[in-house]
Amino acid sequence: MSTLDSLALTCIPAQDEALRAEVRAFLAQATKEMPAHLRARSWGGYSTEFSRQLGARGWIGVTLPREYGGGGRSAFARYVLVEEFLNFGAPVGSHWIADRQSAPLILKYGTEAQKRFYIPRVCRGEAFFCIGMSEPNAGSDLASVATRAVPNAQGFLLNGQKIWTTNAHHCQYMIALVRTSGSAEDRQRGLSQVIVDLSLPGITVRPIEDLSGDSHFCEVFFDNVQLGLDALIGAEGQGWEQVTAELAFERSGPERLFSSIVLFDQWLDWVRTPAGRSEAAVLLAGKVLTQLAPLRAMSVAVQQRLAEGGSPIIEAALVKELGTTLEQFIPASIADALFAAESEDLPVELLMTLKYVTEASPSFSLRGGTRDILRGMIARGLGLR
Amino acid sequence: MNETDMFADAARAVLADRCTPGVVRAIEDRGLQAPEARALWTQLEATGLADAMLEEDRGGAGLGLAQAFGVLEQCGAHALPLPLGETMAARAVLDQGGQPQSGQIIALATGRLLADGGVHCAMVRSAHAADAVLVQVGSECRLLAVADARSAVQARAEDAALDWSAAQVQAAPQVAMAAGVDMRTLQAALVAAQMAGALGSVFRRTLQYANERQQFGRPIGKFQAIQHQLAVMSEQVFAARMAAQLGGTPPGGSGEGLQLDRLRVATAKARCSEAALAVAETAHAIHGAIGFTEEYDLQLYTRRLHAWRQTAGSESYWHRVAGEGLLQHQGLTLDLLRRITDVAPAH
Ligand SMILES: Cc1cc2nc3c(=O)[nH]c(=O)nc-3n(C[C@H](O)[C@H](O)[C@H](O)COP(=O)(O)OP(=O)(O)OC[C@H]3O[C@@H](n4cnc5c(N)ncnc54)[C@H](O)[C@@H]3O)c2cc1C
């Protein structure tokens, strides 16, 4: 319970808030021509050109040190940026993972050479990363990964397969969780993280189509891929600890509240018209607003904890579980509200957005750890396990 | 912040000691007639809490609702059956209106002016645990004695419908509502904070029970199904508490005493009411049959949560308020969210 009492209301510092106007002016212009059903993809949207533009403005890697090309700013600066990107539905998918996870991971565990090599290009929006954790037989149960990197004279010989790797087909690099020693029975022991240059011989990347017709996640096969010694990131055998820390970053951000926000805003515009307004719609609008508000307050409070150097793993899990539940509630209840009456002429663009978000919504509570896994973590935090 | 905690600590100390389940039951049964009621109130008065929302030069501590959150939370956490939070607010309203204090226990209500000049309150929460009711009628408030009223039963024994005659109304102390304050919003903010406390208590009790109760040779908390229910419950409690804290925060992050932001209060009351339903339901499910008994203390909190859910507007009432606000707002939902949630840290 101390966890629950511990988060206090807080607000984003003024110097970070100050970023918002400039970012918003840029985004309003940049996304003006994009239809809402495309903006609804938000961090799933993909545009290398857009990433480069953001990089040029210093809006990627804002929390990373200046000496590596970053912005040297606080976590709240990134929070403001991300919030704006998501709410405008900016296509930030190409650099998303590098900015959120990979570059911070390299900064924390990497060698000086790795930092100098990778981070500046991430910040310019030129180097993109993907996360190679999941495998066909290791999803929730990551400790059972079977992909192996066997140490040899040149470095490591990599064999195995990853799956569900978001944007592997567009990325130059993957940070993969692999087994460097022991066997699956050793569970967390013997796991390491390696940086894999996806252009190396022996690598096959095959996109998988999702149920909405998009192809963002992939299968990746490693067939005798020779990695250099410098592929290892962090210490050998420390992969599990590193991955756990990385996941806390992945779970706490605004992307766990705002995946359906483009749809919600677009629907509100319809409800603001006489034809779209109904009693049920007013109540639904209020229900979503009054659920989103405490969630945002919680998410900002978790951010504060991260900024203080804490590791609010349980709090982040709470936010993600509640947040993705609301993200899934939004398309479901908007559909109900729109079709509660006799069929009307509804705006087609709104229905297209609704279709996309409805079809994408199962993934909200899968990516980054399933609902059951998060509940298990919370239960552990409550002392039940 | 420290000062705030100091008040909450004072409330916790008195309530943990004196507001025991036995005392709660006695006051629920007999209201102010129960000897336990005056004894407990005397203790609470001695801490100065009841006057804490008066200005410092008027003998108070100048607390606003945001700073009083910890105290209100403690009231809920101990199922206090006396309207302490309501009295704190009522005394501040009266004091700001230049009315002298008389040490009364005061409930809050919204009333209707009758054709003959009398006042009717359809629902006064905790009427039987109060000396007087501060009733908003139109843009004014009147302090009316409970003993003077014609009283009709309400669904809960603690509550009542009350009527006062024109003469009583004429004679009653009267203050104008401060600009931007209305009774229902004020009550909703007060109730939400108390709900946050009760939600926390229900959660803690249920967690403890899950660790103790054994079935099939192990504590039921070792079963994944129960663990997941408790995890979900903790999410509800966590979110409701954040919302309730927002509810007491004045407009723009700073403001005077009882000034409230209606959208923040809507957030608080709607979210706490939703959580009340979910949390009470799961708590009873996990407790099995024992939790359904009068004798077991869980009911002191869950019955109250249901009553509070029905006080000063249910979730749908406040969803409508919030929904209207959102529809009037132009532009991104994010900007309204920021207005609601960006709160300068308490100092
Ligand atoms: C859109 C999308 C993008 C993704 N991107 C990536 C990526 O970039 N990189 C990457 O590595 N992975 C990625 N993933 C994979 C994602 O992390 C996994 O899908 C997730 O961890 C679940 O694993 P699984 O699919 O194998 O399901 P399983 O682990 O097989 O789970 C199936 C069901 O069983 C439940 N379950 C499993 N274990 C338990 C347990 N102990 N207790 C209770 N219930 C349990 C689960 O909750 C779930 O309901 C992505 C997934 C999606 C949908």
Cα-to-centroid distance, A371 and ligand 1 (Å): 9
CA distance B178 to chain A (A): 26
Which chain B residues are Cβ-neighbours of A8 within 8 angstroms?
245, 345-346
* Residue of A246, A250, A321, A327 marked active site: A250
State yes or no: is A315 an active-site residue.
no
- Alpha carbon distance, N-terminus to C-terminus of chain B: 5
Which of A370, A371, A378, A385 gets mutated to test ligand 1 (max ligand atoms within 8 A of its CB)? A370
pLDDT the model gives residue B288? 97
Q: How far is the CA of A132 from the centre of ligand 1 (A)?
A: 13
CA B221 – ligand 1 centroid, Å: 24
pLDDT of residue B345: 62
A294–B243 C-beta distance less than 8 A = yes
Residue in A with minimal Cα distance to B253: A11
Establish whether residue A139 lines the binding site of ligand 1, counting it when its CB lies within 6 angstroms of any ligand atom. yes
B167 touches chain A (CB under 8 A): no
Region for A383 from its dihedrals, namely left if φ exceeds 0, alpha if ψ lies in -120 to 50, beta otherwise: left
Ligand 1 atom with minimal separation from the A138 CA: 26
For the entire predicted model, the pTM comes to: 0.95
Residue A176, SS3 per DSSP: strand
| Residue A240 and residue A162 in contact, taking contact as beta carbons nearer than 8 Å | no
Interface mutation target, options B4, B67, B201, B235, chain A, most CBs of A under 10 Å: B235
pLDDT digits (tens, 9 = 90+) for B243-275: 999 999 988 756 567 889 999 999 999 999 999
Put simply, whether B254 touches A (Cβ < 8 Å) is: no
Q: Does the CB of B67 have a partner CB in chain A at under 8 Å?
A: no
Give the 3-state DSSP-derived string for B84-135, with helices as H, strands as E and coil as C.
HHHHHHHHHHHHHCCCCCCCCCEEEEECEECCCCCEEEEEECCHHHCCEEEE
> CB neighbours of A327 closer than 8 A, spacing ≥ 6?
A256, A257, A258, A259, A260, A361, A364
Residue B156 CB neighbours (<10 A): 18
Contact B131, B146 (CB under 8 A): yes
B 179-218 near A (Cβ less than 8 A): 200, 203-204, 207, 210-211
Q: Return the best residue to mutate from A366, A374, A375, A385 for the ligand 1 pocket (most ligand atoms within 8 A of CB).
A: A366
Rounded to 5 degrees, φ, ψ at B260 are -130, 155
Whether pLDDT at B1 is above 50? no
Chain B residue whose CA is closest to A293: B337
| Centroid of ligand 1 to alpha carbon of A369 (angstroms) | 6
- Interface list for B 215-234 with A (CB within 8 A): 221-222, 224, 226-228, 230-232, 234
Q: What is the pLDDT of residues B35-92, one digit of tens each?
A: 999 999 999 999 999 999 999 999 999 999 999 999 999 999 999 999 999 999 999 9
B235 contact residues in A (CB cutoff 8 A): 318, 321-322, 378
**A284:B203 CB<8 A:** no
pLDDT at residue B346 greater than cutoff 80 = no
- Would you say B219 and B227 are in contact if contact means Cβ atoms under 8 Å apart? no
Ligand 1 centroid from CA A135, angstroms:
10
Cβ neighbours of A4 in B, within 8 Å: 200, 203, 234, 237-238, 241
CA-nearest residue, atom 38 of ligand 1:
A140
- Closest residue of A to B203, CA-based? A1
Does B282 contact A at CB distance below 8 Å?
no
Mean pLDDT, chain B, rounded, equals: 95
Among B245, B249, B272, B319, which would you mutate to test the A interface (most chain A Cβ atoms within 10 Å of its Cβ)?
B319
Q: Is A164 in the pocket of ligand 1 (CB under 6 A)?
A: yes
For every one of its 385 residues, what pLDDT tens digit does chain A have, with 9 covering 90 and above? 456 667 788 889 999 999 999 999 999 999 999 999 999 998 889 999 999 999 999 999 999 999 999 999 999 999 999 999 999 999 999 999 999 999 999 999 999 999 999 999 999 999 999 999 999 999 999 999 999 999 999 999 999 999 999 999 999 999 999 999 988 788 889 999 999 999 999 999 999 999 999 999 999 999 999 999 999 999 999 999 999 877 776 776 888 999 999 999 999 999 999 999 999 999 999 999 999 999 999 999 988 888 887 878 888 899 999 999 999 999 999 999 999 988 779 999 999 999 999 999 999 999 989 999 999 999 999 999 8
Which of B226, B243, B341 is opposite residue A300, by nearest beta carbon?
B341
Among A144, A367, A375, A378, residue to substitute to test ligand 1 (most atoms within 8 Å of Cβ): A367
For the stretch B275-292, pLDDT in tens is 999 999 999 999 999 999
Centre of ligand 1 from the C-alpha of residue A179, in Å = 19
Q: Is the CB of A130 under 6 A from ligand 1?
A: yes
Spell out where chain A has E strands: 129-132, 148-151, 155-166, 173-179, 191-197, 203-208, 217-228, 232-233
CB contact under 8 A, A281 and B323: yes
Residue A255 pLDDT = 87
Residue B312 CB partners (closer than 8 Å, separation 6+): B184, B185, B187, B188, B191, B269
Interchain contact, B242 vs A261, CB within 8 Å:
no
CA atoms within 13 A on the CB side of B276: 31
Query: Which chain B residues touch A275 with a CB distance below 8 Å?
Result: none
What pLDDT is stored for residue B272 in this prediction?
Answer: 98
List CB contacts (< 8 A) between A264 and chain B: 333
C-alpha B207 to ligand 1 mean position (Å) = 28
